[in-house]
Chains A and B, each alone.
Chain A
Amino acid sequence: MPLIKIDDREIEVEKGITVLQAATAEGIEIPYYCYHPALSIVGSCRMCLVEIEGMPKLQVSCNTSIGELPPERKKDGKYDMIVRTQTEIVKRERENVLEFLLLNHPLDCPVCDQAGECFLQDYSYKYGRAHSRFLEEKRVRKNEYLGSNVIINHNRCIMCTRCVRFTREISGTNELFVQARGDNSKISIFEDKSLDNLLAGNVIDICPVGALLSTDYIHKNRFWNLEEKKSICTDCSVGCNILVYSQNNRIFRINARENHSVNGYFICDIGRYGFHRYEDAEKVTSPLIRSDGGFKPISWEGALKEIYEQFSRSKDGEKHQIVGIASPFHTNESLFMFGRLMDNIFKDKSIIGKLPFIEDYEIHFDSGFRISKDRSPNRQGLLDFCLNLEDEILQKVKTGKVRLCYALDDGVDRKLDEEWESFFKSQRFLVVQTYAMTPLAKLAHLILPGPSPMEREGTMTNDQGRIQWLKPSVSLTNKTRPDWEIIMEFMNTVGKRELKYSSVNEVNLEMGERFPSYRGMTFFKIGYQGLPKKNIATSRPSEGGQAGNTVT
């Protein structure tokens, strides 16, 4: 392994990596714009110039790979390369490069959405010179739409071509190219081919300056007002890692978060703009009970009392059947609790099913990025925790019995077909746990208000069996309660249990106790990058010390 020296530090590095990578890994900052770890190297911004001993000129560190020298040619007897990043000449060159990059760059940080997270700002402040010697008029161009969600501000562009390389190498869609040369060059698209692929939003993320802007976020807020939360996307079963930016409980944008085991550096536009669905939805903020054809708010105590009366006492002396409808949109913790409720409390009286999975077409990009066909985030978790899941529940449920149904709602993406609608209508008492007035909720007798996907907390298992942490990006409002807590209350009320989990972590621990493949998957342990599920076969866990008088 080559031994190199950067500034005063001796570093042993892999053969073939670049100087920039070596320095960054060691925590030595070398400024750069055009380099991106996921993209090919062009070395066009010249910001990462460093001094390398034995080379007559400054070198771009992003494109200088480290090799091994024969022993007799080693520098100072032992180093394969000696790099200096803080010498006078490097500093001066950085100043000069920045002056060039800023020649045509407007001084419009106050109206620029990138301000606050802009590398041009940061590096100008850190490495730049205070004044430009450029006296001429700056080149001014109009903003253009590159795609329906992307605007380009040509004036701010520094021609790093990250976006161009992205469309060539990651999305493979090739919409962007550099037009003309020199002063006239600009990022452009073919007239008949706008930047509208499913990964288009990522060019906004990777643009180091404020040139590429999202129509969804432009001029909505300032970066420093936003609160950043690390979470995962729940729009398909891949479970991309995301950063959610919100202010005052309102989400403003979603960016990709790096996770090489899941999504790399990027996310798709479905997830990026998906949060608007929950904004538009008609929210359920309080338990609602059906009355006179409509719904009227009811207190939690009232709702639980109603549940007790319906579920624990058989009217007309008939034997009743309890139908549980689980949802792959819920967290592992909620599904674990739901499975427990159905299997251990209602026992043989219950049957557990699910609505048909929401499936769309699967999308693969050449770079390896994929959007799963399965558009529900936690199918794996559903299968893991609801062991007696009936696939053909419509056939299995026998007619003529008293039927009580408890359904976890899939949410705003779910449309009900006629068959399912009539199934739900035939229920004697339908409890729906949801966050919005979905078609399913409209059929309910009692609606319990749960959190929306952006408010949920728990773990999710993606289609690769990776357990990841879904963190709430906005807090619960009004009378809504976490899903697991509602199910726990259900168990306590109907099953006469005295479960007292005070947080989702405790449910998580209990879940690990009962399901060996999830053992030890605490939030602390899985962290922000997630962990693969253990490959242990699951057997039916039983509830210790059951109360005998649960359902009469």
Chain B
Amino acid sequence: MNSVGDGQLTFQFSAAERVEQILSQYPDKRSATLPLLHLAQEQVGYLTSAAIETVAELVEVHPGEIMDTVSFYTMFYTKPKGRNHIQVCQTLSCSLNGADSLVDHISEKYKIAPGEVSQDGKISLVKVECLGSCDTAPVIRINDSYYEGMTVEKFDKIVESF
């Protein structure tokens, strides 16, 4: 069973004009699904079921279909993620250059397994497929920034800067 339940019953887009603008961009309302979902996720950090229902209403499809979409893409989160969301690339070149040891290190440091959020809600860690920077492997992404040519030491240093 999918878990979108979070207790939040209503959702309101804070930037209503942005919603209008996105909707006006497409001839078919359905097409606005992805941008609207991204917008909703930016607002809360993840997609609540209320947000999904709001989007469904806006694009005039069933919430189930929106849920199809949300669960299809890995960039949409239906659970809260940490304030600092760490994505570690584990595709071939990164993997060969020590992405695994990086994951082990982070797991040990924050006592979280890949896919989990630390108890204080600060850190979340996921393993992802290619981040598109294979020449500077291994690569991690913290929130929206890329950090290339990572090593354990380098990671610790970056984290300290937060």
Whether chain A touches chain B in the assembled complex (some CB pair under 8 Å): yes
Interface residues of A (CB under 8 A from B): 144, 164, 167-168, 174-181, 188-192
Q: B3 in the interface, Cβ–Cβ < 8 Å?
A: yes
Pair A168/B62 contact, Cβ less than 8 Å: yes
Pair B68/A190 contact, Cβ less than 8 Å: no
Pair B62/A179 contact, Cβ less than 8 Å: no
Closest Cβ of chain B to A146, distance in Å, is 9
Pair A164/B64 contact, Cβ less than 8 Å: yes
Minimum CB distance partner of B56 in chain A: A174
Tell me which residues from 53 to 99 in chain B have a Cβ below 8 Å from any Cβ of chain A. Answer: 62-65, 67-68, 71-72
Closest Cβ of chain B to A531, distance in Å, is 39
- Chain B residues whose C-beta falls within 8 Å of the C-beta of A175 in the assembled complex: 64
Q: B2 in the interface, Cβ–Cβ < 8 Å?
A: yes
Q: Which residue of the partner chain, among A167, A168, A180, A192, contacts B5 with CB atoms under 8 Å?
A: A192
- Chain B residues whose C-beta falls within 8 Å of the C-beta of A189 in the assembled complex: 1-2
Q: A189-B1, A191-B3, A192-B5 are in contact. Are A174 and B64 (CB under 8 A)?
A: yes
Q: A181-B71, A181-B72 are in contact. Are A191 and B5 (CB under 8 A)?
A: yes
A-B contact pairs, 19 of them (CB 8 A): A164-B64, A168-B65, A174-B63, A174-B64, A177-B65, A177-B71, A178-B71, A179-B2, A179-B68, A179-B71, A181-B71, A188-B2, A188-B67, A190-B49, A190-B63, A190-B64, A191-B3, A191-B4, A192-B5
Minimum CB distance partner of A182 in chain B: B72
Q: Is the interface of A mostly helix, strand, loop or mixed?
A: mixed
Q: How far, in whole Å, are A192 and B63 apart by their CA atoms in the complex?
A: 13
Pair A190/B4 contact, Cβ less than 8 Å: yes
- Chain A residues whose C-beta falls within 8 Å of the C-beta of B71 in the assembled complex: 177-181, 188
Q: How far, in whole Å, are A188 and B126 apart by their CA atoms in the complex?
A: 23
Closest Cβ of chain B to A213, distance in Å, is 16
Pair A191/B2 contact, Cβ less than 8 Å: yes
The 8 A CB mask of B1-15 against A (1 = contact, 0 = none) is 111110000000000
Q: How far, in whole Å, are A164 and B64 apart by their CA atoms in the complex?
A: 9
Considering residues B5, B64, B68, which has the most beta carbons from chain A within 10 angstroms of its beta carbon?
B64
- Chain A residues whose C-beta falls within 8 Å of the C-beta of B72 in the assembled complex: 180-181
Considering residues A144, A167, A190, A191, which has the most beta carbons from chain B within 10 angstroms of its beta carbon?
A190
Q: How far, in whole Å, are A176 and B2 apart by their CA atoms in the complex?
A: 11
- Chain B residues whose C-beta falls within 8 Å of the C-beta of A144 in the assembled complex: 1
Q: How far, in whole Å, are A177 and B71 apart by their CA atoms in the complex?
A: 10
Q: How far, in whole Å, are A167 and B64 apart by their CA atoms in the complex?
A: 10
Minimum CB distance partner of A144 in chain B: B1
Q: How far, in whole Å, are A178 and B63 apart by their CA atoms in the complex?
A: 12
- Chain B residues whose C-beta falls within 8 Å of the C-beta of A174 in the assembled complex: 62-64
Q: A179-B2, A180-B72, A181-B72 are in contact. Are A190 and B62 (CB under 8 A)?
A: no
Minimum CB distance partner of B72 in chain A: A181
Q: How far, in whole Å, are A176 and B64 apart by their CA atoms in the complex?
A: 7
Q: A180-B72, A181-B71, A181-B72 are in contact. Are A191 and B64 (CB under 8 A)?
A: no
- Chain A residues whose C-beta falls within 8 Å of the C-beta of B68 in the assembled complex: 177-179
Q: How far, in whole Å, are A190 and B70 apart by their CA atoms in the complex?
A: 13
Q: How far, in whole Å, are A190 and B71 apart by their CA atoms in the complex?
A: 12
Minimum CB distance partner of A175 in chain B: B64
Pair B64/A168 contact, Cβ less than 8 Å: yes
- Chain A residues whose C-beta falls within 8 Å of the C-beta of B64 in the assembled complex: 164, 167-168, 174-177, 190
- Chain B residues whose C-beta falls within 8 Å of the C-beta of A191 in the assembled complex: 1-5
Closest Cβ of chain B to A451, distance in Å, is 44
State the 10 A-B residue pairs at the shortest beta-carbon distance, nearest first.
A177-B64, A179-B71, A174-B62, A174-B64, A191-B5, A177-B67, A181-B72, A180-B71, A188-B2, A177-B68
Closest Cβ of chain B to A81, distance in Å, is 31
A164-B64, A175-B64, A179-B67 known; 13 new pairs, CB 8 Å cut-off, are: A168-B62, A168-B64, A168-B65, A174-B64, A176-B64, A177-B65, A177-B67, A179-B68, A180-B71, A180-B72, A188-B71, A189-B2, A191-B3
